[in-house]
Structure 1
Amino acid sequence: MAYLRSAGLGALVARSVLGWVRQDPRAGELRRTNFRGRSVTLAGGPALAAGATAGAAAGAPTARLAAAAVTAGAVSGAVGFYDDVAGNRPEQKSAKGFAGHLGALREGFVTSGLVKIAGVGAAGLAASALIGSRRTGRLGRTTDVLLGAGVIAGTANLINLLDLRPGRALKAGAIIGAPLAVGRHASMTAGALGAGAALLPDDLGEEIMLGDAGANSLGALLGVALVARSGTAGRATALAALAALTAASEKVSFTKVINDTPWLRTLDELGRRPQ
């Protein structure tokens, strides 16, 4: 029952926020052009962030885990939304990648991308500290918290890296979340995935775009669910995998890999509007 309740709440909040943002007088400022030249709205980002965060928090078995979900989901969504809006300004577009943001900082200019990176990292650290560690020694607890922070921020970044085609980020989130939606703390994941499922038709139909707000929030919440049920070895393994994927993204195009792999291409195109 708790599983279905958190999933339903996530879906309800996501749909409600999407409708509210679309009706806002300033909704036109969220219009963007997607990869196919269609005009879509970034309203899907705050809708997913709000729904996934509410659903995950409702499914948390303890107050500390609920606080971790709210911290990771809400802060990652907020700084992501800031980057979605501010990053579209001409003076922000020149800084690309982490190196570009650091280069701008050395020149005395704080980019919206750097604000997002710092915000997601801080949210991951705070959420991981709230989750804590089963180890008793100070060094062991500190190590677990730092590993957990890396997993939460790394998962947020991975989902964001995949948000380049309609539905791709939500499908990736569902695949990552599937094993987390079974067993201990499953209701937390169900809440986040329920929000994603509610927005998937609009995403596939190229009516909305998740942007950094939606992708970062969903990824961070999946990271929280993973950290909450993992010990030191599990967190270290997950962080190593995330680091490897992030490093690979600097060398190869995920879109090219997907397009060149038949079964991945079929999954990626499933439900999408025909070209």
Structure 2
Amino acid sequence: MLSRLVLAGVGALAARGTLTAVRRSPFAASLERVNHKGHQISLAAGPAAAVSGAVSAAAGAKNPRAAAAALTAGLAAGAVGLYDDIAGDRPEQKRYKGFKGHFAALKDGVVTSGLIKIVGVGAAGLVSVALLDADRRREGSLRVADTLVGAGVVAGAANFVNLLDVRSGRALKATIAMGELAGLGRRPAAGDLVSGPVAAAGALIGDDLGEKVMLGDSGANALGAQVGLGLAARTGRWGRLGLFALFAAAAVASEKVSFTKVIARTPGLREIDEFGRKP
């Protein structure tokens, strides 16, 4: 319990410190955006979430390979997400949305920033889970196929959190809930990979709900990947297959269904979603 509190403190302090540094940096102006209400808002929470989540997760890792896995998942997913946040804001990129849009653009000879993000997050998931599973594969408890599914869990979690980042606070609430689920029970063999990222999310949620900052693809992908790595660390073959199926189903559903409308129509979910948000 004490170690988790320490990691939570590291995650929260790193998130607040990094957020302040990003907002005071020369690049702060390039991170300004207009949200769905027409309000000016900063994407500074994205880099803050990526850096603080990765560093605090690495601090809780049991061995150097698990620490490298945590850094890879958070920083790589955050970096390609930040690229999409910046390059994807260009007019020629905005016309392509969703998985179908990015792959349709490829048929037209256009490599979108969104496609680069998809490939980058997938690669980050594969490398991070390969590092994480090294000992378990050597012992024979996991196979290469299990590592590939685990990579799908990391990428799927990153995409799921990103899908929710369309209203203030929603993605961070989901991150906290999923992170708590990943941290239930005994600590996974790779160490405590989620206490820091969950605390980082908690440290940023007030500003997100207050519409001062937003995660963007950078923060949503990074925190989702960190939580996904935590879930992969504590599951075996069947657990990973189940999680992968859930995230894949959510990705497919998002192409046809508005999650915002579903949440608004569902008692319980609606109240949780709206809690703390500005009217």
Equivalent residue in structure 1 for 2:154, among 147, 152, 155: 152
Deviation at 1:112, TM superposition (A): 0.6
Q: Which amino acid is the alignment partner of residue 106 of structure 2? A: L
Equivalent residue in structure 2 for 1:184, among 168, 187, 206: 187
Query: 1:77-133, CA deviations, whole angstroms, 9 ceiling, x for partnerless residues?
Result: 000000001100111112122222122223322111011000000000001111116
Deviates more, 1:171-180 or 1:69-78: 171-180
Equivalence for 2:275: 270
Between the aligned partners of 1:137 and 1:102, the Cα distance in structure 2 is 39
Q: Which amino acid is the alignment partner of residue 168 of structure 1? A: R
Equivalence for 1:242: 247
Equivalence for 2:50: 49
Q: Which amino acid is the alignment partner of residue 98 of structure 2? A: G
Equivalence for 2:38: 37
Asked whether the equivalents of residues 15 and 49 of structure 2 are also in contact (C-alpha less than 8 Å), the reply is yes
Between the aligned partners of 2:221 and 2:101, the Cα distance in structure 1 is 20
CA gap of 1:139–1:92, structure 2 versus 1, over 3 A, is: farther
CA gap of 1:139–1:263, structure 2 versus 1, over 3 A, is: closer
Deviation at 1:139, TM superposition (A): 11
Asked whether the equivalents of residues 98 and 255 of structure 2 are also in contact (C-alpha less than 8 Å), the reply is no
CA gap of 1:55–1:140, structure 2 versus 1, over 3 A, is: closer
Q: How many residues end up aligned between the 2 structures?
A: 274
Question: What is the TM-score when the length of structure 1 is the normalising length?
Answer: 0.95
Gaps of 5+ in 2: none
Between the aligned partners of 1:7 and 1:162, the Cα distance in structure 2 is 23
Deviates more, 1:105-114 or 1:35-44: 105-114
Q: Mapping of 1:179-218 within 5 angstroms?
A: 179-182=181-184, 183-185=186-188, 187-218=192-223
Deviates more, 1:64-73 or 1:181-190: 181-190
Between the aligned partners of 1:3 and 1:140, the Cα distance in structure 2 is 27
Asked whether the equivalents of residues 45 and 210 of structure 1 are also in contact (C-alpha less than 8 Å), the reply is yes
CA RMSD, 1 decimal: 1.6
Equivalence for 2:16: 15
Q: Which amino acid is the alignment partner of residue 184 of structure 1? A: R
Between the aligned partners of 1:165 and 1:79, the Cα distance in structure 2 is 21
1:66 corresponds to 2:67 = yes
Asked whether the equivalents of residues 205 and 273 of structure 1 are also in contact (C-alpha less than 8 Å), the reply is yes
Between the aligned partners of 1:197 and 1:136, the Cα distance in structure 2 is 37
Asked whether the equivalents of residues 137 and 144 of structure 2 are also in contact (C-alpha less than 8 Å), the reply is no
Query: 1:122-157, CA deviations, whole angstroms, 9 ceiling, x for partnerless residues?
Result: 000001111116356989611111110100000000
User: Helix, strand or coil for the counterpart of 2:41?
Assistant: strand
Question: What is the TM-score when the length of structure 2 is the normalising length?
Answer: 0.94
Q: Which amino acid is the alignment partner of residue 179 of structure 1? A: L
Q: Which amino acid is the alignment partner of residue 189 of structure 1? A: V
Gaps of 5+ in 1: none
